[in-house]
Structure 1
Amino acid sequence: MFPHIWVDYVESIEEFSRGRYLWGRPAIRTRPNSWDSRKIGVGAVVEWGGRWLVVYYGVTGWDDYYYSEGLTPEDFKYPDSPYHYKVGIMVLDRENPERVLYRPNYPVGVPTYWYELYPDAIPGVMYPTGAVLAGERLLVYYGASDYFVALGEVDLKQLEEELGNLIAMTHIT
């Protein structure tokens, strides 16, 4: 739900056959003054090393919604095109997915190639829709310019090193 990532829990998929709906609550929030300040949403989730590896989209910019959170447009100073959809990753605790273990301050995918900036469609869009673990790589499928389907990759070895350094610094277990 706009603009944050929400979470809800169910004991079994069978609950939905009995009329259960997801209600949830905001669990992972946007970050003012970051590349994912306007809105974020989940594209794919894979289990990785006993954790959840989440591929998500983020958009920069101001929205009037933030007045309700006590923020003003001056709180959003990220110098970027406000409506470019970028790809980010984060690592969540497997038992408590509301606990973010790692979320870098930079996107792993930024619209750059002609098919991501295609002027005859919706330029500036990378919208992740799926992910596959392939050895030491995470293959990320994404929509480009709301017109094309593309494939990118994340180096999991590098991600593991960054996460390992963070764990060593903050004693996250």
Structure 2
Amino acid sequence: MIKRYESNPIIKPEDISIENDELEIFGVFNPAATKFKDEILLLLRVALKAKSEKDWIKIPVADKNDSFNIKILKWKKHKLLKVEDNDARFIDINGIRYLTSISLFYLARSEDGIHFKISRTPVFTPSADYEIYGVEDPRIINIGEKYYITYTAVSENGFCTGLASTEDFRKFERLGIIFPPENKDVVFFPERINGKYFSLHRPTVSFIGKPSIWIAQSDDLIHWGEHRLFLTPTNNKWERTKIGAGPQPLLTDKGWLIFYHSCGDNQIYSMNLILTEKNNPQKIIGKSTKPILTPRYKYEKVGVVPNVVFCNGWIANDYEKILIYYGAADKYVALAETSLDFLFSSLKTL
């Protein structure tokens, strides 16, 4: 079934090095995963926050006047300052919303998929106007010789989806915004299907409906159209609030396996599974009857955001063993192992 690694979490905030004395690690979580040569690579989301100071509110943002530099915005606390801070992830100051941390990406390498060597400095940092609040939740999709990275870019104008590519995980080329605000949880299918590329994405809705997964098509991975509603939240306790895509879909002899996250009652996040037709990824033919992975242990229940398991990356080793790398409580990276047989057994034919 699902077997968690006994020494979870495998990566903790204290495993990340940082040279800025004004900042501290808020969390390391939601990694993308891929095979590269003889290694497994994780692209780690690392969130940094300003060290606390009595009587001051401090917010880190990227300095737009530099290729990458973090500056600290500061407000002295007083009665006339209007502050709402009911969520650890953001704060409203005088009617303007800021993130309490700024995220960037570190790279972790492993030969066994368990023990990782982490880069001493970030490999991908905010550098554009649409990223000044950070870059978040990457997914890695290997297509041909290139590795494409979709990620959430955040600024004072909302969150959108950026795209970058690399061939060596040393140099990254930014390809711009591919889905405008407010859209996130974007992942590509790793090959053309009937001559087209397909992607899953999650627009945010607030007036009517619930945040759902949509599917789109493209000729070049940059320009996306033919958008269709793909999957909506089911009215049950584990996904009635919202859903979103997870890691790169896996192609099997039965179709495309798609891991997705859901948020349900009490803001608990879980991971679920669907299966689509091989030659028609828009047609869902199977769905898990209950979550595949739910918060169970302390490191998944207690952290920056409680009761969260969130997967952006998995590795299939000849499908006999599937390694699931996931964020736990928005603070840690954890590892679970499963098999293709178990995943198929969890599906109900539609």
TM-score normalised per structure 1: 0.71
User: Quick one: which amino acid aligns to residue 332 of structure 2?
Assistant: F
Q: Which residue of 2 aligns with 1:40?
A: 243
Alignment partner for residue 116 of structure 1, among 283, 286, 300? 300
Identity in percent? 27
Note closer, same or farther for the CA distance 1:123–1:23 as it changes in structure 2 (3 Å cut).
Answer: farther
Secondary structure at the aligned position of 1:157 is classed as helix
Q: Which has the larger radius of gyration?
A: 2
The structure-2 alpha-carbon separation of the partners of 1:12 and 1:82, relative to structure 1 and needing over 3 Å to count, comes to same
- Give how far 1:21 is off: 4.3
Paired with 1:149 and 1:124, the residues of 2 have a C-alpha distance of 14
Structure 2: gaps (5+ residues): 1-202, 205-210
Matched, 1:53 2:237: no
CA–CA separation in structure 2 for the residues paired with 1:55 and 1:21: 22
AA aligned opposite 1:5 = I
Aligned residue among 115, 126, 141 for 2:309:
126
Please, which moves more after superposition, 105-114 or 34-43?
Answer: 34-43
After TM superposition, where is structure 1 displaced by more than 6 Å over at least 4 residues in a row? none
On the 8 A contact 1:55/1:131 being kept in 2, the answer is no
Q: Point out the structure with the larger helix share.
A: 1
Partners of 2:218 and 2:224 within 8 A in 1 = no
CA contact (8 A) 1:58 1:86 kept: yes
Shift of residue 107, structure 1, vs aligned partner: 0.3
Residues 14-52 of structure 1: CA deviation (Å, up to 9, x unaligned): xx2xxx245723211111125222111111122122511
2:231 aligned with 1:28: yes
Residues 35, 105 of structure 1: 8 Å contact kept = no
| CA distance in 2 between partners of 1:114 and 1:52 (Å) | 32
Conserved? CA contact 1:108–1:154, under 8 Å: no
Give the match's secondary structure for 1:86: strand
Retained in 1: the 8 A contact 2:271–2:311? Answer: yes
Q: Which residue of 2 aligns with 1:93?
A: 277
Instruction: Quote the Cα distance in structure 2 between the aligned partners of 1:103 and 1:34.
Output: 16
Rounded Cα–Cα distance in structure 1 between residues aligned with 2:330 and 2:346 = 32
Question: Given the alignment of the two structures, is residue 103 of structure 1 paired with residue 306 of structure 2, yes or no?
Answer: no
Q: What amino acid sits opposite 1:58 in the alignment?
A: S
Q: Aligned to 2:273, what secondary structure does the other structure show?
A: strand
1:6 to 204, 214, 218: 214
Cα RMSD (Å) of the superposition? Answer: 2.1
* Counterpart-to-counterpart distance in 2, 1:89 and 1:28: 11
Contact 1:125 1:144 in 2 (8 A): yes
Partner of 1:66: none
Over residues 43-96 of structure 1, what are the superposed CA-to-partner deviations in whole Å (9 max), with x where a residue is unaligned? 112212251111110111xxxxxxxxxxxxxxxxxxxx4301101111111222
Contact 1:36–1:58 under 8 Å retained in 2: yes
Gaps spanning 5+ residues in structure 1: where? 61-80
